[in-house]
Amino acid sequence: MAKDSLTVKDNRTGKEYELPISDGTIKAMDLRQIKTGAEDFGIMTYDPAFMNTASTKSAITYLDGDKGILRYRGYPIEQLAEKCNYMEVSYLILYGELPNKAQYDQWVFDITHHTILHENIRHFMQNFRYDAHPMGMFISTVAALSTFYPEATKIADKELRTIQIQRLIAKVPTIAGFSYRHTRGLPHVYPDNALSYPGNFLNMMFKFTELRYEPNPVLERALDVLFILHADHEQNCSTNAMRAIGSSKVDPYSAMAGAAAALYGPLHGGANEEVLKMLAQIGDVKSIPAFLDKVKKGEGKLMGFGHRVYKNYDPRAKIIKKVAEDVFKVTGRNPLLDIALELESIALKEDYFISRKLYPNVDFYSGIIYQAMGLPVSFFPVMFAIPRTVGWLSQWQEMLGDEEQKIARPRQIYTGVDERDFAPMDKRK
């Protein structure tokens, strides 16, 4: 008997099966041979919410939730956040290696030369209501881009794929900037290609009457680091959506609109918005114990805490805490930070959180920084979506090249009524 195998005995039949183990995993399809008879479909696994199912092999991001480790293409997140900018990291995530000087220059050139949006897109965005949620505008506009680039449906063409990837990475800050200006009733600011990726983003958000917008270097760098930290996170909810939608072979704009919609939810990228609402609602450090009592009774969640994979401090949250200090030196201290720090300190001593291994995640401190930078709370999920674009697209591309992948189509256990005969309306109860 092979050592790397699992012996399964079916007590219904007394038969034994040997299932190969590789990478600590058995293949769900290997269970299908376990049957009680020829009519039997075979054993399936039941795993709502993918609690214990690897849906793919991936070489992009490594995460060890117990140890609090996060690496992109093998590089620890701490090193990338300290030594790189987002353009280098996005190249790394997409291509697998950090760029050399020539590759970097070409990459920056390619991205900056796709930052402009078609004027019709600008007009399209002007039709949103003045109080439209920025994430709703983001999702719809990304989807609308597919109508501008019909060649994007040719997803088997690597060159065309690369152009769509560059377009999306380049245009998402412009979409975000336009949506912000729209809600403020301000004229749109066109991209300034002489600025860095985060610097240009700040320009499109905050430029007023000055001839040339000069981003504050501390805020520009802080944003670069935040973008690095959000660039990818293996098979999270929105990435899983990107892969699932992409597996139908739809164009990347449509798939990414779906991924962004998944991100919008309050349990995922919408959590940073919820954290700020929660901190504002708590209002004062004195109210923290009463708030935590409610959480412990199951009357609400401590937003920005907990993670499906991290059962230790989220390494991104540690870095963000440091970034916050730099930002506050420029913007002044966000008073909500005191509530957040106290909340964390009390929660980490409480048995409820310790026993469930609930620690601050990436969303706990990011919103406090964004707010200090002058961004409205509703805009925070967009700040997650911009840098995650490269993660979604890299995972999508990896999925397309993976011969083991097919259209994503889970099974179900049917729990409805058995076959019955149609009843005309006058015979129905």
**Which spans of this chain sit near ligand CMC (rule: CB under 6 A)?**
233, 236, 267-269, 271, 295, 301-308, 356, 358, 361-363
What is the DSSP-derived secondary structure letter of residue 29? G
End-to-end CA distance of the chain: 60
| Residue of this chain nearest to ligand CMC (CB atom) | 306
Q: Whose Cβ is closer to ligand CMC: residue 96's or residue 266's?
A: 266
Q: Which is nearer to ligand CMC, 188 or 308 (CB)?
A: 308
Q: Which of 200, 191, 84, 165 is nearest to 395 (CA)?
A: 165
Active site residues: 268, 307, 363
Burial of 194 (0-12, 13-18, 19+ CB in 10 A): exposed
- Round to whole Å and give the CA distance between 213 and 199: 9
Shortest distance (Å) from residue 363 CB to ligand CMC: 5
Report the residue number, 258 or 304, with the smaller CB distance to ligand CMC. 304
Minimal distance in Å, beta carbon 39 to ligand CMC? 36
Give the 3-state secondary structure of residue 76: strand
Measure the CA–CA gap between 262 and 142, rounded to whole angstroms: 14
For the CB of residue 294, give the shortest distance to ligand CMC in the complex, in Å. 10
Sequence-separated (6 or more) residues with CB below 8 Å from residue 22? 4
Nearest distance, CB of residue 275 and ligand CMC, angstroms: 7
Q: Measured between alpha carbons, how far is 139 from 136 in angstroms, rounded to an integer?
A: 5
Taking the least distance from each CB to ligand CMC, the nearer of 52 and 412 is: 52
Of 295 and 343, nearer to ligand CMC (C-beta) is 295
Distances (CA, A) of 95 to 21, 31, 77, 296: 30, 36, 17, 44
Pick 165 or 303: Cβ nearer ligand CMC:
303
Residues whose CB is less than 8 angstroms from the CB of residue 382 and which lie 6 or more positions away in sequence, other chains included: 134, 135, 138, 176, 179
Q: For residues 348 and 344, give the distance between their C-alpha atoms in angstroms, rounded to a whole number.
A: 6
Q: Smallest gap, in angstroms, from Cβ of residue 259 to ligand CMC?
A: 12
Smallest gap from Cβ 300 to ligand CMC, in A, equals 8
User: Is-contact 356 265, C-beta < 8 A?
Assistant: no
